[in-house]
Amino acid sequence: MNSTPEPPFPDAPEPSLRLRIDADALAGNWRRLADLGRVETGAAVKADAYGLGVAQVAPVLRAAGARQFYVAHWSEVAPLLAHVPAAEIAVLHGPATPADAAYARVLGVRPVINSPRQAALWLEAGGGRCDLMLDTGMNRLGIAAQDLGAEVLQRLEIDTLHSHLASADEDGPDNALQLERFAQATEQFAARRRSLANSAGIALGAGYRFDLTRPGIALYGGVPRPDLAGLIAPVVRPQVQVLQVRQVRAGERVGYNGTYAAQHDMRTATVSLGYADGYLRAWGGFGTLARDDTVVPVIGRISMDLAIVDAGALPGLQEGDWLDVTYDLRSAAQHTGLSQYELLTLLGRRFRRLV
Ligand SMILES: *Cc1c(COP(=O)(O)O)cnc(C)c1O
């Protein structure tokens, strides 16, 4: 036996999970949203670019023309700075502590100020250009209507005034109400730009677009409103390796708790994909894998690291082969009860993300 090696260790071999990211589709989605909006178009790349990988996504979006990027956490700044200049980064959660404010100032990224307390923290740290989020009815994050007159806000050096739509993916009176409140509230502040629309908001009409839009989900292939369906191309394609191919006899059962029983002798394949990778048990009995045009159903329970398919339609399938995971966001959202946002951000760290 060899003794434990000293680091640095050699690179791990190729993982058995790949997340293929279609750079052309990603750039195309950004461009088509920019063309539809006809105003400056940013990009929400929080949560590791909705799970796709900020290192893979940010260079593509910047090359396409994006010059304003949004993350939520301070921990998301450094990975983005490897690809995007500090002046193009805004942090949606804003500074909760003096350390957050100091960090923003050292790096030169803009905090999005969400409360009078955050404004005071920012000014105490030395201040500088920042964004201001106004709450216009979502009651989530942002300056509440009753705080709009707070004196501390008037001392901010505001780059962009924001608000966020609660129901842009639905038609109803809420959107127009938030629009009206935003237009009114922004009159009280001097700022370089105003921004209201997320992906779905861009489709609500020119009145919602102001100077800058902040799409996220639609960049990554999500379709938050039916009227965006024709515009948005799918971006992610998960692929998994076959770890084992087995013969299962009629009457034998498959997977945890034996929830699937073979009705006849059959050939199954066990693949390297489980709920720890974001392929939740909600996919059991609904999910499919495919090779070219041949589709095979997932059978039995999804395990933490494994799923099982009925490989009958793929007689040549062998250990080590790769299969595509069917991952249509809209139909998956309907069948699993998960949102398209969840379906993307769930995709686990064990996928190798490839552009
Ligand atoms: C996440 C987020 C966005 C992007 O929203 P999508 O629905 O993914 O387009 C825009 N603005 C804010 C404030 C956000 O938090």
Query: pLDDT tens, 196-220?
Result: 999 999 999 999 999 999 999 999 9
Task: Give CA angle at 268 (264, 274), nearest 5°.
Answer: 130
Contact 329, 343 (CB under 8 A): yes
Residue 156: closest CA among 192, 193, 119: 119
pLDDT given at position 1: 59
Residue located via tokens 């989605």: 29
DSSP-derived letter for residue 115 is: S
Whether ligand 1 lies within 6 angstroms of the CB of 222 is answered as no
Ligand 1 centroid, distance to 214 Cα (angstroms): 6
Nearest-atom number in ligand 1 for the CA of 46 is 1
**Strand pairing of 322-325 and 288-291?**
antiparallel
**Strand pairing of 40-41 and 212-213?**
parallel
Cis peptide bond N-terminal to 8, omega within 30: yes
**Strand pairing of 294-299 and 307-310?**
antiparallel
Nearest-atom number in ligand 1 for the CA of 218 is 9
Contact 196, 181 (CB under 8 A): no
Ligand 1 centroid, distance to 198 Cα (angstroms): 5
Whether ligand 1 lies within 6 angstroms of the CB of 164 is answered as yes
Q: Residue whose CA is closest, atom 12 of ligand 1? A: 164
Residue 40 and residue 214: Cα distance in Å, rounded? 9
DSSP-derived letter for residue 174 is: H
pLDDT given at position 202: 98
Number of H helices, E strands in the chain: 11, 19
Nearest-atom number in ligand 1 for the CA of 50 is 8
Catalytic residue numbers read 46, 256
Whether ligand 1 lies within 6 angstroms of the CB of 215 is answered as yes
pLDDT given at position 65: 98
Residue 32 and residue 112: Cα distance in Å, rounded? 27
Whether ligand 1 lies within 6 angstroms of the CB of 219 is answered as no
Mean pLDDT by 10 residues, the chain (355 residues): 86 97 98 98 98 98 98 98 98 98 98 98 98 98 98 98 98 97 98 98 98 98 97 98 98 97 98 98 94 98 98 98 98 96 98 98
Residue located via tokens 């404010």: 101
pLDDT given at position 198: 98
Residue 60 and residue 329: Cα distance in Å, rounded? 21
pLDDT given at position 3: 86
- Reading across the β-sheet that carries 193-195, which strands appear in turn? 40-41, 212-213, 193-195, 157-162, 129-133, 110-113, 89-91, 69-71, 43-44
Residue 154 and residue 177: Cα distance in Å, rounded? 25
Whether ligand 1 lies within 6 angstroms of the CB of 199 is answered as yes
Task: State the burial class of residue 168 (Cβ atoms within 10 Å of its Cβ: 0-12, 13-18, 19+).
Answer: buried
Ligand 1 centroid, distance to 49 Cα (angstroms): 11
Whether ligand 1 lies within 6 angstroms of the CB of 209 is answered as no
